[in-house]
Amino acid sequence: MSEHEHGLPSVDARGVKRVLWIFYAALAVFIAIDVVWFGPDWLSNLGQDTHHVESAYADPAHADPAHAAPDTEEHWPNAEDSPQDQPQHPVGHTAETRTDQASFGGHKHGHYAFEKVPAFHALYGFAGFVFLVLAARVLRLFVMKDEDYYGDDAPLDAEQHAEDGHA
């Protein structure tokens, strides 16, 4: 797949390298923001955070009423998707989130504790992407067929009528 196989240099090699360097630098910067800016915050909260969140969750007064369309409320009990034993349940968090946004962040916020792990999103994106591509390669073994598999280009003759019937 790479350019060497075909012997055709595509975008010239120096250009590619330059783009890649910019890209690596950007990635580093954004991870650095996470680590340097939010890191200490996360470390210092490691011990207490869970407790804080749980208490907020237990207190229904924190729930943000603005977020529920009044007429449909009863239709969405958080059945299986949000098990009750998840300490990260966010309802109590939303009020805090709003104030954060207004002040354009001094410390990292998020709905879940795992989001506060430094570089979580970069790692999740990397892992997810690799999984996606490798899984797709496996999928290819099962679903990839010849280009003319369905024979859709064949001329329409009497056979077509039979197809109509089945469709």
Partner 1 sequence: MNAHLPALQVVLPLLAAPVCVLLRNRRVVGVWATLIAWASLAIAITMLVHTMEHGTISYALGGWESPLGIELRVDVANAFLATIVTGIASIVLPYGPGSATLAIPQDRQYLFYTAFLLCMTGLLGMSVTGDAFNVFVFVEITSLSSYTLIALGKGRRALTAAFSYLVMGTIGGTFILLAIGLCYQMTGTLNMADMALRLQPVMGTRTVLVAFGFFVVGASIKLALFPLHQWMPNAYTHAPSVVSAFLSATATKVSYFVLVRVVFTIFGAAYVFGTVHFEWLLMPLSIAAMFVGSIAAMYQTHIKRLLAYSSMAQIGYMTLGLSMNSVEGLTGGLVHLFNHGLMKGGLFLVVANITFRLNSSKIQDMAGLARKMPWTTLAFAVGGLSLIGVPGTAGFISKWYLVQAALMKGQIWLALLILMSSLLAVGYVWKVIEVMLLKPPTKRVENTTPAPLRMIWPVWVMIGSTVVFGLWTTWTGTVAEVAAETLMGLR
Partner 2 sequence: MLENIAASLPPGLILLFGALLLPLLPGESPPADGSADGIWPLSGKSKMGMRGVLMLLLPILGLIQMWLLPLGHSSDVELFGYALQPVRVDRLSRIFGTIFHIAALISVIYSLRVRDTLQNLSGLAYAGAAIGAVFAGDLITLFVYWELTALTSVFLIWARRTNRAARVGMRYLIVQVLSGVLLLAGTLFHYADTGSLAFDLLSLDGSIGHLLIFLAFGIKAAFPMLHSWLEDSYPEATITGTVWMSAFTTKMAIYALARGFAGTEILIPIGAAMTAFPVFYAVIENDLRRVLSYSLNNQLGFMVVGVGVGTELAINGAAAHAFAHILYKGLLFMTMGAVLLRAGTVKGSDLGGLWRKMPWTTAFCVIGAMAISAFPLFSGFVTKSMILTAAADEGYTWTFLILLFASAGVLDHSGIKIPYFAFFAHDSKLLPKISGEAPRNMLVAMAIAAFLCIAIGVFPAPLYALLPYDVGDYSAYDLTHVVTQTQLLLGSAAAFVFLQKKGWYPAELRSTVLDVDWVYRKLLPGGLKATYNAIDKGAERTKAAVGRAVLASVNRFGQFFRPGDRSFGEPWPSGETAMWAAVVLVAYLVVSIVSSQVG
Summarize as ranges the residues that interact with partner 1 (CB under 8 A): 158, 161, 164-165, 167
CA–CA gap between residue 139 and residue 131 (Å, rounded): 12
Helix 120-143, helix 13-32: angle, nearest 10: 130
The window from 8-16, 39-47, 48-56 that contacts partner 2 (CB under 8 A) reads 8-16
Nearer to partner 1, 137 or 161 (CB): 161
141 binds, among partner 2, partner 1, none (CB under 5 to 8 A by kind): none
In order, the DSSP letters of 55-121 are: HHHH-GGGS-GGGS-GGGGGG----SSS-TT-TT--GGGHHHHHHHHHTT-SS---SSGGGGSTTHH
Write down the least CB distance from residue 154 to partner 1, Å: 16
Residues 10-69 touching partner 2, rule: CB under 8 A, are 10-11, 20, 23, 26-27, 30-31, 33-34, 37, 64, 66-69
Longest CA pairwise span in the chain (Å): 76
Residues 126-145 touching partner 2, rule: CB under 8 A, are 126-130, 132-137, 139-140, 142-145
